[in-house]
Amino acid sequence: MTKHTGSCDVKEENCYHVVIIGGGPAAVSAAIYCHRFDLKVLMIGEEYGGAISKTYLVENYPGFFETSGYDLMEAFQKHYEFFKIPLINDTVTELKQEKEHGFEIHTSGGLHYKACSVIITTGTKYRKMNVPGEDEFHGRGVSYCATCDGPFFRDKNIVVVGGSDSAAVEALFLSRFGKKVSIVYRREKIRAEPINITRVDCNDKIEIINNTIITKINGKEKVESVEFGDGTIFPTDAVFIEVGSIPQADLVKDIGVKLNEKGEIIVDKYAQTNIPGLFAAGDVTDIREKQVITACGQAVSASYSVRDFLTENFCLD
């Protein structure tokens, strides 16, 4: 490759060796490693912490036997703040590839930055059921975050929609507050980890309603019931939706980044996309395991790839 000598002048205030877009575990891990490579680093994240910060129980991150996602990300925050790595709380609205200096990043706050390389760590957003009443009652009984809204439904009847491990964990958390928690799942058995299936089965407050779908959410000022596929009206005060997630990869579509059929960014084992200088890590990629630890590991690979890319293309010493 031809080296772009002097084309990415990181001495400029708004120009960086690498801009990391995102604010979750992958973003922080990449930022720490890139900083240790003596690179000028900037993180831009719409919301610090990512999806894991809304998870009430984390038991599989080494060194933390039992913690909340919020506390885990608080520990991450202390780490990157120790190195004085800047984090801008803003939304990236446009990412442009430029021949001379790499990339331009524009934000909703009207700011723009230049970068020799970019790491995308934008994660996922919640998936909707797309049934009548879901949007209407969002914030009035419909929620996608148990840790955010669970305490509002003390001694109430609660429905959790979904059959994943996340749905089981949400139900277990909500059972601390609710009078009764009903997991509604469209298949025969929920797909949670064995330890969480056992916990659900042993919890007197939780019931599982299998082979059932919700076709409508009813109410007046707030949620009052849901309607099942067979027409049954099931009374409830809240509906917590945990039916999967959608990768937030729209930002890279216009510059030709390859995505798979799920809309995830395709990367190789070094976290490289098909666009030179553009890397990705975490849940937004096609990595199979959507876990904090795998996001962090993939971000480390991305950081090494950034260092190699800059050394070859921008005369990094």
Domains of the chain: 15-126+245-313 (3.50.50.60), 142-241 (3.50.50.60)
- Split at pLDDT 50, 70, 90, the class of 3 is very low
- Identity of residue 119: I
pLDDT digits (tens, 9 = 90+) for 34-70: 999 999 999 999 999 998 998 888 999 999 989 999 9
Cα 114 → chain centroid: 25
pLDDT digits (tens, 9 = 90+) for 154-178: 999 999 999 999 999 999 999 999 9
What's the whole-number average pLDDT of the chain?
Answer: 94
Q: What is each CA distance from 244 to 150, 183, 266, in whole angstroms?
A: 19, 15, 19
Residue 317 has pLDDT above 70, yes or no: no
Q: Are strands 245-247 and 124-126 parallel, antiparallel or unpaired?
A: antiparallel
pLDDT of residue 6: 45
Is 52 exposed, middle or buried, given 0-12, 13-18 or 19+ CB atoms closer than 10 A? buried
pLDDT digits (tens, 9 = 90+) for 115-159: 999 999 999 999 999 999 999 999 999 999 998 999 999 999 999
In the chain, DSSP assigns E strands to 15-21, 41-45, 87-89, 92-98, 102-107, 112-120, 124-126, 142-143, 157-161, 180-184, 206-209, 214-219, 223-228, 233-235, 238-241, 245-247, 278-280
Taking the C-alpha atoms of residue 76 and residue 72, their distance in angstroms, rounded to an integer, is: 6
Residue 7 has pLDDT above 70, yes or no: no
pLDDT of residue 308: 96
Taking the C-alpha atoms of residue 107 and residue 120, their distance in angstroms, rounded to an integer, is: 15
- Split at pLDDT 50, 70, 90, the class of 5 is very low
Residue 218 has pLDDT above 60, yes or no: yes
Nearest by Cα to 70 from 82, 60, 57: 57
Sign of the dihedral defined by the CA atoms of residues 241, 195, 53, 237, in that order: positive
Average of pLDDT values for 261-265? 97
Taking the C-alpha atoms of residue 143 and residue 148, their distance in angstroms, rounded to an integer, is: 9
pLDDT of residue 150: 95
Taking the C-alpha atoms of residue 181 and residue 168, their distance in angstroms, rounded to an integer, is: 11
pLDDT digits (tens, 9 = 90+) for 97-112: 987 669 999 999 999 9
Taking the C-alpha atoms of residue 46 and residue 22, their distance in angstroms, rounded to an integer, is: 7
Q: What is each CA distance from 261 to 148, 247, 270, 286, 302, in whole angstroms?
A: 31, 11, 21, 10, 23
pLDDT digits (tens, 9 = 90+) for 241-254: 999 999 999 999 99
Nearest by Cα to 311 from 16, 17, 14: 17
Nearest by Cα to 70 from 296, 303, 298, 292: 292
Taking the C-alpha atoms of residue 11 and residue 126, their distance in angstroms, rounded to an integer, is: 39
pLDDT of residue 70: 94
Average of pLDDT values for 277-292? 96
- What strands lie across the sheet with 233-235, from one edge to the other? 214-219, 223-228, 233-235
| Inter-residue contact 261 to 101 (CB < 8 Å) | no
Residue 301 has pLDDT above 90, yes or no: yes
pLDDT of residue 285: 98
Average of pLDDT values for 80-109? 93
pLDDT of residue 1: 35
Taking the C-alpha atoms of residue 22 and residue 44, their distance in angstroms, rounded to an integer, is: 6
pTM beyond 0.75: yes
